[in-house]
Amino acid sequence: MPTNEAWQKHNNNMASQGLVYDGCNYFRQRLVLSTLSGKRVKIRNIRSREDEPGLRDFEASFIRLLDKVTNGSRIEINQTGTVLFYQPGLLYGGSVEHDCNPQRSIGYYLEALLLLAPFMKTSLQATLKGVTNDPTDPTVDLLKLTSIPLMKKFGMMVVKRGMAPGGGGEVVFKCPVRRTIKPVQLTDPGKIKRIRGIAYSVRVSPQMGNRIVESARSVLNQFLPDIYIYTDHMKGTHSGKSPGFGLTLVAETLNGTFLSAEMSSTPQGQGEPVLPEDIGKNCAKRLLEEIYRGGCVDSSNQSLALLLMTLGQPDVSKVLLGLSLRTRSNSSDTYEIFFRSCSKSKSRNLSKTNGKAETKP
């Protein structure tokens, strides 16, 4: 292990040829973009002022996953975990098995693989084990129903479900290699034609799923008749280690746009318990809010759409995004830094007086 002075001297020289960031914000995004662009990254002052400084266990687990899907990556972390140096290797792919840290769900790791998998040398088959559904990260159901149709020709299967905090779930993700990405023109989302969903439950009564479905339909049937919500009750070895239930809803438009919303129960031993009826109604209201925001890409997939546009062929791509600004502004700026790309955005405000849209640069 090098001394602190040797570490600082070494990394100052190495960082002069790469990018340097402070803090843990956008930690996962910076490492993913570093891997795609081939640019080395140094991240300093990772929670340096907190009582427990340095990387968290789930971030260290994510770094190990990156090391598994690449070949020749160089990763160095100082003794306190507050400084990380990452020099990406070749995106190789192949068959990978990884135990995800239960502090974050599999969706946290799977979102990164969705960005990396199309650009690997060989087709990726990843088996991820851990928490499949929690209130913090996108669930595997949401990614399967919205992100996969956005990228096409992917495959993903939930082998076992595992709720927080115990985990015990398992997801198999397969992705072929794409040599080129075509430019897109996604500017007309179209009208909603149907709503589909999955009400899942593990280690609880199967009636929980039925109660969720009935409460969600009581809200959505006021707007659309074509609604079908599946119930997925897993038991035995396929039910993970902790009890829980939740709902994932997806609205599909006439032009093939997918807008989504989801909610899950409070993890066992954390916070106040939630009734299945409340989850069904609140999730349905979230979906209606997502539809109201509009756009051809929902809030959870805006970063993915922007990255695919950035890495596509040198032609103009257009996409209409909803009102959510959760990832858009930071993603555009970060992509320009890593890939020297150029983007332009316009805001479209709806006028209630005449029902027409006004475009302002």
pLDDT tens track for 140-196: 889 888 887 877 634 445 666 766 677 788 898 888 887 778 888 888 999 999 999
Average confidence (pLDDT) over 251-278: 91
Higher pLDDT, 230 or 310: 230
Of the three residues 271, 293, 315, the one that is the final residue of a domain is 293
Q: Rounded to an integer, what is the distance from CA 35 to the centroid of its chain?
A: 17
Specify which of 159-173, 294-308, 340-354 reaches the highest per-range mean pLDDT: 294-308
User: Are 301 and 142 a contacting pair, CB within 8 Å?
Assistant: no
Angle between helices 106-116 and 57-69 (to 10 degrees): 30
Structural domain including 269 reads 185-293
If you write DSSP's letter for every residue of 279-342 in order, what string do you get?
HHHHHHHHHHHHHHH--SB-GGGHHHHHHHHHTS-SS--EE-B-S--SSHHHHHHHHHHHH---
CA distance 189 to 253: 7
Rounded Cα–Cα distance for residues 265 and 262 (Å): 11
Which ranges of the chain would DSSP assign to H, the alpha helix? 4-15, 27-37, 57-69, 106-116, 140-142, 148-151, 207-220, 276-293, 302-310, 328-339
Tell whether 166 is covered by a domain: no
Lowest mean pLDDT across 22-31, 257-266, 318-327 = 318-327
Residue 245: inside a domain, yes or no? Answer: yes
Q: Which residues pair with 111 in a beta bridge?
A: none
Tens digits of residue pLDDT in 66-108: 999 999 999 999 999 999 999 999 999 999 999 999 999 999 9
CATH number for position 248? 3.30.360.20
Q: Is residue 40 part of a domain?
A: yes
Q: Has residue 271 been placed in a domain?
A: yes
Answer whether 160's CB lies under 8 Å from 170's CB.
yes
Terminal C-alpha separation, the chain: 53
Q: Residue 319 domain-assigned? A: no
Classify residue 9: in a domain, yes or no.
yes
pTM: 0.82
**Final residue in a domain of this structure, among 266, 293, 320:** 293
Residue 323 forms part of a structural domain = no
Q: Which of 237, 264, 293 is the last residue of a domain?
A: 293
> Quick check: is 261 in a domain?
yes
Number of domains in the chain: 2
Question: Residue 125 pairs with which residues in a beta bridge?
Answer: 95, 174
